[in-house]
Amino acid sequence: MARITVDGIPLEVEDGAMLLEALDDAGVLMRDVTIPHYCWHPKLSIDGSCRLCQVEIEGAPKLQIACNTPVEDGMVVHTENERVAAARAGVTEMLLVNHPLDCPICDQAGECKLQDYAFEYGALQSRTREPRRALAKNVDVGPTIVLDQERCILCRRCVRFCREVPGTGELVVRGRGDRSVIDTFPDEPLDNPYSMNVADLCPVGALTTKDFRFKIRVWFLEDVPGICTGCARGCNVYLGVADNKVQRYQPRRNDAVNDTWICDAGRLSYKEIGAADRLSTAMLRGDLGVLEVVGFRDALQAAADRLTRVRQARGASRIGVVASPHATNEDLFVLRRFCDALGVETAGVAVVRGDADDLLLHAEKAANAAGARAMGFEDAAAVCEKLRRGALDALLVAGHDLLDAAYLGGVDGLGDLDTVVWLDTHVSDLQRVADVVLPTRVAAERTGTYTNATGHVQRVTPAVEPAFDARAEGAVIAALGQALHLDGFEVGFDARETSRALSEGVPLFRGRSFDAVGDAGLPLEEEA
Ligand code: SF4
Ligand code: SF4
Ligand code: FES
């Protein structure tokens, strides 16, 4: 370790680490110590090209760039003196020579580093007499991203990202000197599963996503921390919310889970929250054999009556349960208790599998398969096998993953059942065979925790309210338990209370309650 002093603040940092990185790791960068920077990014290689991060180091004759200067024991750094201020002002003036201050119409206004730094370090008036460079403003570089070459300050973050993270290298710097522009090779567009991250890491408004471009000004958004539920990685995101609608996902840094990246598919999965195919009403199959809209309470009572009838006539062993890997740990904990109290012998979890890669994308397309397993729900194959043998009369199924080819591949296996109680967030073929339909909430509407594929327990808080009566799965199961007069189901569902009970009752989750895991999450307790 090295002891250094920055603006009079004594710090102990890793010996040999670059100064900017060391300050970032120490948690003081842009908080206690302000060093503006463009080209440096904590997860990319060092470029050293923007020259904005210059600082004075005692004993060094010239200013040094903080992103590429290793710390040494005893180093004394000044970031707020006249020399440094003059350097920042000079670099900012030079960058503004050719960058149009498009702020009123630029999509990045409000979260643009150039806007911030121009305000902080820029001159009031331009001294240039020559006209600005005129470059292409709407370059279609690929299916997800638009480039404004005029706004680019050539920090090369996007170029390094494509080379170093997905390894696809689509973006390049073309031309030299003041003719340099970011571009793609002809017929080789920016098109990889992580392409939209370049819009987040572009410090100015040069790269924007086609999806979010001109949708809403960013200062109308509230950024709610949450997780992407598109796969078992559980990447950390900010949900940008306005008008009770999630307008976008942006990555949230969590070095233990997703560094600072998310995949394009996950990023766009926010659209499922307010999708037209959300299951929005409780339903009951009536005498005519069609589903009819009913109140939630009536549907719950009908589900309880039908399950009671099966249990009394044939025994609880004839009731199967399929848990959802999209549910929270708290939901699954309640469902586990429900199965035990009811005497259910056949319960499992159905998880759709798909593409995976070496970066983030996990084959399991659900956020909480690991949580379901930790709660004792093994693969739903055993449930399916019993269904096929006709050994079940009733099924309580949460989520539609059961219809994946790996399980039933369709609803045929369910047609002969006496009762199918279906809890879900989106419409699926299960609607054809369900007797009782109970709409549930998606993660963005929930309080609770999820366990990702590496055993990291993370939490979500409600970002939006559903426009219809959808309830947390745990709340539905708890109400069902109450209607069935099961032991331990005397009181309703409270996610934080349940989280506390889970962390006290299941050793793996010890100390992993909603309140304890915080926004960064915590790994599951090691098994003894
Ligand atoms: S497009 Fe953005 S990220 Fe890429 S070099 Fe230009 S300013 Fe940097
Ligand atoms: S890798 Fe998975 S969790 Fe991460 S953003 Fe993509 S789909 Fe979402
Ligand atoms: S951040 Fe150091 S030179 Fe760009």
pLDDT digits (tens, 9 = 90+) for 260-314: 999 999 999 999 999 999 999 999 999 999 999 999 999 999 999 999 999 999 9
Ligand 2: residue whose CA is nearest its atom 1: 361
Atom of ligand 3 nearest to the CA of 37: 1
CB 309 within 8 A of CB 491: no
Q: What is the pLDDT of residue 415?
A: 83
User: How many angstroms from the chain centroid is the CA of residue 268?
Assistant: 10
- Residue 48 Cβ inside 6 Å of ligand 3? The answer reads yes
Measured from the Cα of 65, ligand 3's closest atom is 2
Confirm if 365 and 352 have CB atoms less than 8 A apart: yes
pLDDT at 231: 98
pLDDT confidence band for 125 (50 / 70 / 90): confident
| d(C-alpha 490, C-alpha 467), whole Å | 29
End-to-end CA separation in angstroms for the chain: 33
Q: How far is the CA of 110 from the centre of ligand 1 (A)?
A: 17
Q: Is the CB of 318 under 6 A from ligand 3?
A: no
Residues 191-220: pLDDT tens digits? 999 999 999 999 999 999 999 999 999 999
Mutate to test the pocket of ligand 2, among 231, 248, 260, 357 (most ligand atoms within 8 A of CB): 231
Region 485-500 average pLDDT = 96
pLDDT the model gives residue 525: 85
Stronger pLDDT, 5 or 416, i.e. the higher one: 5
Determine the Cα–Cα distance for residues 53 and 155; give it in Å rounded to an integer: 12
Strands (E), 299-442: 319-323, 346-349, 378-379, 394-398, 419-424, 436-439
Residue 513 has pLDDT above 90, yes or no: yes
50 pocket-lining for ligand 3 (C-beta < 6 Å)? yes
Confidence class of residue 528 from pLDDT cuts 50, 70 and 90?
Answer: low
* Arithmetic mean of pLDDT over the chain: 96
Q: How many residues does the chain have?
A: 528
pLDDT value for 319: 98
Determine the pLDDT at residue 417. 95
**pLDDT tens for each residue of 326-344:** 999 999 999 999 999 999 9
Reduce the DSSP state of residue 354 to 3 states and report it: coil
Residue pLDDT, tens place only, 373-410: 999 999 999 999 999 999 999 999 999 999 999 999 99
Tell me, using a 6 A CB cutoff, whether residue 252 lines ligand 2: no
Taking the CA of 257 as reference, the closest ligand is: 2
Nearest-atom index, ligand 3, CA of 54: 2
Q: What is the average per-residue pLDDT within 159-180?
A: 95
Best probe residue, ligand 2, of 235, 236, 267, 271 (max atoms within 8 Å of C-beta): 235
Task: State the pLDDT at residue 126.
Answer: 86
Ligand 3 pocket test target in 24, 30, 40 with most atoms within 8 Å of CB: 40
**pLDDT mean over 397-425:** 93
Q: Which atom of ligand 3 is nearest to the CA of 40?
A: 1
* Distance from residue 212's CA to the centre of ligand 1 (Å): 18
Nearest atom (ligand 1) to Cα of 161: 3
Mean pLDDT of 496-500: 97
Q: Give the per-residue pLDDT at 102.
A: 87
Q: What is the rounded average pLDDT of the residues 503-527?
A: 94
For residue 39, which ligand has an atom nearest its CA? 3
The share of the chain scoring above pLDDT 90, in percent, equals 93
Query: Does residue 52 line the site of ligand 3, with CB under 6 A?
Result: yes
Confidence class for position 101, pLDDT limits 50, 70, 90? confident
Do 328 and 446 meet the contact criterion of CB atoms below 8 Å apart? yes
**Binding site membership of 514 for ligand 3 (Cβ less than 6 Å):** no
In this prediction, residues 86-91 reach a mean pLDDT of 97
